[in-house]
Chain A
Amino acid sequence: MRWRRRSFRAMPTHPDLGADERPAVRFRFEGREVVAREGQSVGAALLADGVDILTRSFKFHRPRGYTCGAGACGNCLLTVDGLPSVPSCVTPVAPGLEVRRERGWPSVDVDVLAGADLVSRWFPAGFQFRYFRQHPRAGHAFERVLGLLAGGGKHLPPAASAPVLPIARRTCSVVVVGAGPSGLAAALAASDAGADVVLVEEQERLGGRLRAETATVSALGLTAPGPRLAEVLTERVARDPGITLLRGSALGWYEDGVLPVAGRDALHELVPHVVVEATGSYEAPVLFAGNDRPGVLLAGAISRLFHVERVRPGRRYVVVACDDRGIEHAIELHHLGVEVVAVVDQRGADEAGTERLRALAGRGIEHLAGARPVRSHGRRRVRGLTVRTGDGRRLRLRCDTVSVAGPLRPSEGLSLQRRYQGENRLSAETPGQDLSARAPVLLRVGGSAGRTRVQDAVDDGFDAGRTAATAVGNVAPFRPA
């Protein structure tokens, strides 16, 4: 079974990218060897290897698998080299990694505690507040059992798991958080205008959504497909003496002006004059029963799997759409040579443009207007999706993958934090600290500013970079190369 899935999921050739010539990387997964390709993530490599269940849900031990591909959902947490709860979809493979799953007893695959899901009728959400209120002793005993079952990854001896990092403080004029299309552009523009720029990125490869963008994008006088442009911009950033690339996660921007970055070898305390928030967007899931079943993936994760990881998650797809992005995604899947059964479009028939509908029809993809997903089926992974159609019928679609193209939400944590810092007040006398005095400017660009098209994000980034540099006091016109 696993073998059949594996043979299909690997993508030796790609219709646009050609043959996969990345060298093999071997790591260990629960005692056996897995062969991945350089540049793949652990989560995608396991998916390609036929591993559908990566973890189990907290309370009811429901199976969970690769879902968002962006380190955002927590459905792929594994223990990697002794470090627990590592989001495997954004952790690159490396030779000799030791990877194992965390929850479930006796194992994640055969989890007898999954029975908890079957009794969930009697243990509804929040049951702990209602049960045992008259029997504190029984409650305490139950909590201890829950505690044993619930605790996530096990810890190894401390020294092996995570060394305590040194702290490095530095002042700089512009910090760009996020090296996707808008962040790369902003860093280049700000540096070109004379600013001293720190570009923060937590992922291995720069480029963000550019890497999975199939359309052509223009920047710096060059027009190229997304992945190609990502290479060019990455290389420009690497060569630019005004840009320091910092690998790590920005934790926030605090009232004393510090923007801490948890890096790989140090905790960096940046004290910027201007911050450009270029953290992109994330995909919101769509509500339906079983939307957490392995095989239900977000559309962005699927694009990423095909174009970046070069893994085919399944053969037969149903796409859940809420706007044109879902329809374009279905057409893209068809282009990639997999079968698309239907687009479950939550909009009415007249809201999707006729041209796009014609494109779907021409490819034999059914368009269900005004429809919504009701429930997914399958024990360990998706086998079908029941939908309610616009005219009220229930339809069961056979598929092995559901691609959910939900709404894009700006990832605007930094500016939200800043706004709440301004608003965090108890009453008239307890105003929140206003950051403005010490940290004058925060610019939000690209996906985190609500842009949904990559080209807009790039243009936005160049503008913001210039503005940032000007705000610092380095007024110099930006010259495209």
Chain B
Amino acid sequence: MPIPGVTARPLARTYDAVVIGAGIQGLATAYELAKRGVRRVAVLDSSWPGGGASGRNGELIRSAFSSAEWITLFDASLKRWHQLSRELDFNVLFNPSGYLVLASTEEQYARCRADVEVQARFGLRTELLDQQAVLDRVPALNPDAVVGAVLQPAAGFAHHDAAVWGYARAAARLGVEVHAGIEVLGVTVRGGRVAGVTTSTHDVSAPVVVNAAGAAAGRLAGTAGVELPLDMARLEMLVTESVAPFLRPAVAALAALGYCHQTSRGEFVGGTELAVPDHTPSLNGTYRLLRDMAQKFVWLFPQLSAARVLRHWAGLITQTADLSPIVGTAPGVDGFYLSCGWVYGFVGAPAAAAHLADTVCDGRLHPTIAPFDALRFAEGRPIREGSLVVPAQSEGPGPREVAS
């Protein structure tokens, strides 16, 4: 059966641009390149469009972060999410249901209060809610788990498969070839310039190569002599059977290291993380996390104890020490571009892809993505983003930080 958006054509030997990875980052970048007039663009994926983290994530979308860099990039993305169905001519089921960052301790609440002040300075519309205001909005929450929250009304969630399909189809309409089942083995470099890629099929030459290979991005960059400080992490999610609507906004629960939402069909979808990241390079769902998720979500929403889990799965991401992505040019290799190290890569894709395409076409780093360069680690200027859900492991200079 043909996969929607995947080309039937055989892989050619030359392209104007090759994108490695048909996740949301790779597909969106290919779409934006084609929109800017790049003629022959190929997206190569060893599995299928959305087979990586893009089809396995929590679907949550927000821009209410606490650093200038994150707010600028992710709010540009959020604005695009509101228009994305129209732009791609495909309903990505974006639901501006509102997004709560839930504080269960006074300390977390204090952090929320500080974040809201920063967000106001950047013109974001967010509100600090006290316990009663949170419970009024989500009566199903366990009052013991609620001290307060940040609410971002314009944020929410979308359907991850729909977003991937939407970008794949829109890209295909503009002439992009999406190839599934082709593994990129390495990136070839000649005289400081990218020359193309070697694949499981045959070599392909291209003056532009974009590395959006998700969990494999670090290894692939390495084949071009570009060392990136990326760590692989396994994250897990579950979905329950459909239950009567009880949860309108998307929720990130700081105390549970978890995030969740309820779809319009009634399924509850959520994931939790452990304080220590799991570096196992495997797509197996583990019992440890299944139990962790069940316990934490039943703590947050006691009525979920009566719901059954339909599916449970894992996905792999790569992350950096400051948990911020690497987007932009690859140091030392002309024509080689990076979009990797994504922890919030679903929400971030629309803007990051557009500005990475700008960077490729204009030959100049777009200011929105400029802070996310690859050299910031070596040069000791990590991004200090303190409003994420899981604290970063690094002993870096930033505040304790959080993922996903």
A contact set with B: CB distance below 8 Å: 58, 83-85, 128-134, 136, 139-140, 143-144, 146-148, 150-159, 161-164, 167, 251-252, 254-256, 258, 260, 269, 420-421, 424-427, 429-433
CA distance A322 to B242 in the complex (A): 34
Given contacts A161-B303, A164-B298, A426-B52, contact A151 B243 (CB under 8 A): yes
| Interface pair A433/B264, CB less than 8 Å apart | no
Closest to B234 in A: A430
CA distance A164 to B294 in the complex (A): 10
One of A146, A161, A433 near B282 (C-beta < 8 A): A433
Does residue B308 face the partner (Cβ distance < 8 Å to A)?
A: yes
Smallest CB–CB gap between B256 and chain A, Å?
15
| Interface pair B264/A150, CB less than 8 Å apart | yes
- State which of B85-93, B121-129, B390-398 sits at the interface with chain A: B85-93
Which residues in window 130-178 of B have CB below 8 A to A? 162, 165
Closest to A146 in B: B264
Closest to B89 in A: A133
Does residue B305 face the partner (Cβ distance < 8 Å to A)?
A: yes
Closest to A144 in B: B264
6 interchain pairs, CB-CB under 8 A:
A136-B94, A139-B93, A140-B95, A155-B243, A254-B286, A424-B282
Given contacts A148-B245, A158-B306, contact A136 B266 (CB under 8 A): no
The interface residues of chain A lying within 8 Å CB-to-CB of B265 are 58, 146-147, 150-151
The interface residues of chain A lying within 8 Å CB-to-CB of B183 are 427
CA distance A269 to B291 in the complex (A): 11
CA distance A163 to B303 in the complex (A): 10
Smallest CB–CB gap between A357 and chain B, Å?
38
CA distance A139 to B266 in the complex (A): 16
Which residues in window 74-110 of B have CB below 8 A to A? 82-83, 85-86, 88-91, 93-96
Does residue B284 face the partner (Cβ distance < 8 Å to A)?
A: yes
Smallest CB–CB gap between B150 and chain A, Å?
22
| Interface pair B266/A129, CB less than 8 Å apart | no
Does residue B216 face the partner (Cβ distance < 8 Å to A)?
A: yes
Given contacts A129-B162, A426-B47, contact A139 B306 (CB under 8 A): no
Q: Which 3 A-B pairs have the closest CB atoms?
A: A158-B302, A254-B287, A161-B306
The interface residues of chain A lying within 8 Å CB-to-CB of B95 are 140, 143
| Interface pair A427/B287, CB less than 8 Å apart | no
| Interface pair B308/A258, CB less than 8 Å apart | no
| Interface pair A426/B242, CB less than 8 Å apart | no
One of A136, A155, A258, A420 near B306 (C-beta < 8 A): A155
Which residues in window 276-321 of B have CB below 8 A to A? 280-288, 290-291, 298, 302-303, 305-308, 316
In the complex, given contacts A83-B306, A85-B308, A256-B287, what are 8 additional A-B residue pairs having Cβ atoms less than 8 angstroms apart?
A133-B88, A133-B89, A134-B85, A153-B243, A155-B303, A424-B283, A430-B216, A430-B281
| Interface pair A150/B86, CB less than 8 Å apart | no
Smallest CB–CB gap between A144 and chain B, Å?
7
By size class, the interface of chain B is 35 or more
Given contacts A136-B85, A425-B283, contact A162 B305 (CB under 8 A): yes
Given contacts A151-B244, A426-B215, contact A132 B306 (CB under 8 A): no
Smallest CB–CB gap between B63 and chain A, Å?
18
Does residue B227 face the partner (Cβ distance < 8 Å to A)?
A: no
The interface residues of chain B lying within 8 Å CB-to-CB of A424 are 282-284
| Interface pair A136/B82, CB less than 8 Å apart | yes
| Interface pair B287/A258, CB less than 8 Å apart | yes
The interface residues of chain A lying within 8 Å CB-to-CB of B245 are 147-148, 151
Does residue B219 face the partner (Cβ distance < 8 Å to A)?
A: yes
CA distance A433 to B278 in the complex (A): 13
Closest to B280 in A: A433
CA distance A474 to B198 in the complex (A): 53
Does residue B16 face the partner (Cβ distance < 8 Å to A)?
A: no
The interface residues of chain B lying within 8 Å CB-to-CB of A128 are 91, 93
The interface residues of chain A lying within 8 Å CB-to-CB of B165 are 129
Given contacts A133-B85, A432-B283, contact A155 B246 (CB under 8 A): yes
One of B162, B305, B316 near A161 (C-beta < 8 A): B305
Given contacts A132-B91, A426-B47, A431-B281, contact A152 B243 (CB under 8 A): yes
| Interface pair B244/A430, CB less than 8 Å apart | no
| Interface pair B162/A152, CB less than 8 Å apart | no
Q: Which of B47, B215, B287 has the most CB of A within 10 A?
A: B287
The interface residues of chain B lying within 8 Å CB-to-CB of A256 are 286-288
| Interface pair A136/B86, CB less than 8 Å apart | yes
| Interface pair B243/A84, CB less than 8 Å apart | yes
The interface residues of chain B lying within 8 Å CB-to-CB of A83 are 306
One of B83, B96, B241 near A85 (C-beta < 8 A): B241
The interface residues of chain A lying within 8 Å CB-to-CB of B46 are 426-427
The interface residues of chain A lying within 8 Å CB-to-CB of B47 are 426
| Interface pair A426/B93, CB less than 8 Å apart | no
Given contacts A154-B244, A430-B282, A433-B280, contact A140 B216 (CB under 8 A): no
CA distance A259 to B245 in the complex (A): 32
